[in-house]
Amino acid sequence: MISNYFKIAWRILIRQKLFSLINIMGLAIGMAACLLIVQYISFELSYDNFHKNGANIYRIKHQNYSQGNLVENMPKTYSAVGPALKSSFAEVQEFTRISKLDGLVTTQQPNGSVIAFNESKVYQADASFLRLFSFPMVKGTTTALNDPNTVVISESTAKKYFPGQEATGKTIRIQQQISGTDIKVVVTGVCKDVPSNSHLQFDFLVSGDAKAGDWVYPDSYTYVSLSPQTNPKTFEARLPAFIKKYATQSGQNASSPTQGKTNINSITLSLQPLRDIHLYSNLSNEISNGGNGNLVWYLGLIAVLILLIAYINYVNLSTAKVIERAKEVGIRKVLGSQRAQLIKQFLFESLLLNVISVAVAVFIVLLCMPWFSALCGVQIGFTLWKDPYFAFGFIGLLTAGILLSATYPALILSDYKPVQILKGKFMNNAQSIPLRKALVVFQFVATIAFMMGTLVVYRQVNYMKNSNSGMDMKQTLVVLAPQNIRATDQDAMNFAAKDSVFQNELLRDPRIKNVTSSSSIPGESIGYIMSYTRHTQAGEKSLRLSTLEIGNRFLDQFKVKVIAGEKITARTNFSKSPMMLNEAAVISLGFKNAQDAVGKFVETKNGRGRVFENEVIGVIQNFHQTSLKDDYTPLVVRAIDPSSVTHYEVKFNSSNLPQTIAQIEKTYKNVFPEAAFQYFFLDEFFDQQYKVEQHFGQVFSLFSGFAIFVACLGLFGLTLITITQRIKEIGIRKVLGASVSNILLLISKDFIGLILIANAIALPLAYWGCYKWLQNYKFRIDFSAWFFIMPMVMVFLIAILTVSYQSIRAALANPVRSLRSE
């Protein structure tokens, strides 16, 4: 009996080729889109899930308040916090700390040559790091960092620095610029390359200092492993008392902040679940670029809607074909078919069509996965089939789709008496028409919402990329400064001389407009944060501000506007420790306005407790140090010290760029022969901050296109069926003198009315969703009438074109042929 059902289903599938093709393509594209999105969501949600004890691992989040205002919100805290937590709370099973140690890495090869690279994934870590996290070791064990001056490297790093050699036992030299660190470490372990779904991305792990740490400066990423029975909220509630206790013990109280650093009575510590860091952490000085949980769930909603549109097409077309199959069902019932048998027949037809659609969908996914991976900006493969939960979920979803898409037309047909059907009374029945119309409206509500969402996302990303950041970053090449030691005064003097030679030599080249240097570049969070105190009659105002050190030509080169006072130049009097503020810092320090700040003094203390009075000589206009997603960073600008130079910014002419870069490299090698030459373009680097939004916009646009295509397939199929059902009416109207435009209007008016209803529903919903999404951005676009007009016009045109093709064919057909046919 089952084989008979399949034979009939296959014959019907073959006989109705166009109808079957529309259904299969609609379902396959909908399923493929859904699978691709679910694969991406699965990857995003899998971050840090591979750690065996990941559910119990938390990062310590550090928040600093000044007079009740949040001034720092970051993932780094004092190096003493980890050991103190371990000794104070039995719930803390283990802790580990890591800190940045980027610099020049060199190795001596057996033939005497040297391999040297500036590395950005070098971290100093406690020995417990390899025990707390589950990064598999290829060589060595989890005790590889127990001894001082040891390092664990990744497999690819081992091949990079020790090609064709055994890495363990070899020596690596690491020179760190800012701190003056120069260490030689022995490779004691090699780990597998860090998975792409880890927020911790490293190539080198250098053994850390086993000391208890200090409460001076928050520079350590600290992770703790809590016992499984611990309630995180209860544990967090005990942290304020913990801070107060150690503030007292370390001598840091409200009246005497140690060495001018942060008063830790103003600090709040909290727990950040390890598995939430990638998607739900929007902190300054993040260890790596994270994702966006809201965007991921937006894509999930898109996946559901696309699949719904695909199945709505199937239900719509199936119910519309009911009339054509009415006589078939009537004859079957006359010959003895029971209602249950008819329902089974329809279910098997749906099963066959769905199975074919799944096969086509999987083929599309496998074909598109490399391209989709590049579009998303992550290296992912189609691994959903390995997840047993997905298999059960997908089979359940497929079964539900088969049942829902087949049951309604089966129940309609099987419920009629054969006499009614064979007499043609069924032809006048319209009980399925309201449902079809409602489903068409739903399709186009989703389609219009997708269009408006795509437009808003595209405009917002373009706005952030092309908006005036307050700095001229075009045609600017950034060259990494040599990662040499500058810890001693002599080192600093040597570098200062070479620094001057390098910049002056570049300025001799007519292809180079200007050269400057800085301690940080636009597009990255400023890691140099100092405490500043302003004394007024109303009291003392202290807060920590990002501090940018710049060369003499920096402000002119980047066209940063000075709105009050004067700017830092080579002629500036440095006897009063001059500094500049941006507008945001003027407000933060409580000045009335920019002019009020000029000439005032702000106090700072260095790490040894020495007090400096800094004169505010000028105020600059706000510029975006980081992306437009965030507010302006309150910023202190000071003249650069040679030991702080991390980047050179080279302004060049657009002509002969390869030759210009070659000349810059030649000059660099002549002045800094021991350093590795590395460069990048500043505007491209700055735009990397919008990578998540760019990829989201591309993916959103792609699947919006899928949704529109699937909806149009359904509309095309419905139009085809409508014309088939009304072919004699069209013939009679043509005989009586109806024009092509009359016929087109006759067939189109019902669909146009449905689209107008869909617009009325979709536009307010889409506006609300887009408005909520835009609230995530401090600087955002304003809504304009075009956001509403364009989706309306585009959907209307797409629908008219889809309907018109079949309608015009029917209107141009010979009416005699349609009137003769039965």
**DSSP string computed for 683-716:** HHHHHGGGHHHHHHHHHHHHHHHHHHHHHHHHHH
CA distance 762 to 760: 6
157 DSSP assignment? H
pLDDT value at position 17?
76
CA distance 810 to 649: 67
| Residue 325 pLDDT grade (very low, low, confident, very high; cuts 50, 70, 90) | low
Identify the band that residue 306 occupies on the pLDDT scale cut at 50, 70 and 90.
confident
How far is it, in rounded angstroms, from Cα 490 to Cα 147?
32
How does pLDDT run across 451-501, given as a tens digit for each residue?
A: 888 889 889 888 888 887 788 888 999 998 886 555 555 666 777 788 889
Residue 743 identity = I
Residues with Cβ within 8 Å of residue 246, at least 6 apart in sequence: 80, 84, 215, 264
Q: What is the mean pLDDT of residues 313-323?
A: 70
Minimum mean pLDDT range among 406-410, 740-744, 786-790: 406-410
CB 162 within 8 A of CB 107: yes
Angle at 780 between CA 775 and CA 781, to 5 degrees: 120
Q: CA 11, CA 330: separation in Å to the nearest integer?
A: 19
What is the reported pLDDT for 571?
Answer: 73
Residue 46 contacts residue 197 (beta carbons within 8 Å): yes
Q: Provide mean pLDDT across the span 770-794.
A: 87
DSSP letter at 384 equals: G
pLDDT of residue 257: 36
- pLDDT tens for each residue of 240-279: 889 888 766 554 543 333 334 445 557 889 999 999 999 8
Two tokens, residue 343: 């329902």
Contact 578, 568 (CB under 8 A): yes
- The per-residue pLDDT for range 47-92, each reduced to its tens digit, is 999 999 999 999 999 988 766 667 778 899 988 999 999 999 999 9
Neighbour tally for 42: CB within 10 Å: 16
> Residue 412: its pLDDT value, please?
63
Read off the pTM.
0.78
**In which band, very low, low, confident or very high, does the pLDDT at 626 lie, cut at 50, 70 and 90?**
confident
Q: Flag the least confident range among 7-11, 42-46, 120-124.
A: 7-11
> Mean pLDDT throughout 631-653?
88
Report helix, strand or coil for 263: coil
Name which of 35-44, 485-494, 770-779 the model is least confident about. 485-494
Say if residue 821 is exposed, middle or buried (CB neighbours under 10 Å; 0-12, 13-18, 19+). Answer: exposed
Q: What pLDDT is stored for residue 517 in this prediction?
A: 92
* Average pLDDT over all residues of the chain: 82
Query: Which among 644, 650, 659 is positioned nearest to 681, based on CA atoms?
Result: 650
pLDDT more than 90, % of the chain: 26
Mean pLDDT of 629-638: 88
pLDDT band at 741 (very low <50, low <70, confident <90, very high): confident
Q: Which of 406-410, 512-516, 572-576 has the highest mean pLDDT?
A: 512-516
Q: 138 pLDDT band (50/70/90 cuts)? A: very high
Lowest mean per-residue pLDDT among 70-74, 169-173, 271-275, 632-636: 70-74
Tell whether the model's pLDDT for residue 687 goes beyond 50.
Answer: yes
More confident residue, 261 or 15: 15
Which helix (H) or strand (E) segment holds residue 142: the answer is: none
Of 275-284, 424-433, 613-622, 663-672, give the lowest mean pLDDT range: 424-433
pLDDT for 154-167, tens place per residue?
999 999 999 989 99
* DSSP state at residue 379: -
Nearest CA to 798 out of 704, 723, 698 is that of 704
Which whole number is the average pLDDT over 280-289?
A: 82
Q: Is residue 516 scored above 80 in pLDDT?
A: yes
pLDDT at residue 534 tops 60: yes
Q: Give the per-residue pLDDT at 428.
A: 45
Band of pLDDT at residue 374, cut at 50, 70 and 90: confident
**DSSP string covering 750-768:** HHHHHHHHHHHHHHHHHHH
What's the alpha-carbon Rg for the chain, to the nearest Å?
34
DSSP element (H, E) containing 325: none
Which range, 139-143, 210-214, 735-739, has the best average confidence (pLDDT)? Answer: 139-143
More confident residue, 611 or 185: 185
Secondary element (H or E) of residue 629 = none
Pick 325 or 731 by higher pLDDT.
731
Helices (H), 46-96: 81-88
Is the model more confident about 347 or about 778? 778
Structure token digits, residue 71: 């001034």
Lowest mean pLDDT among 111-125, 320-334, 549-563: 320-334
pLDDT value of position 499: 87
Residue 276: per-residue pLDDT: 92
Q: What is the mean pLDDT of residues 516-536?
A: 85
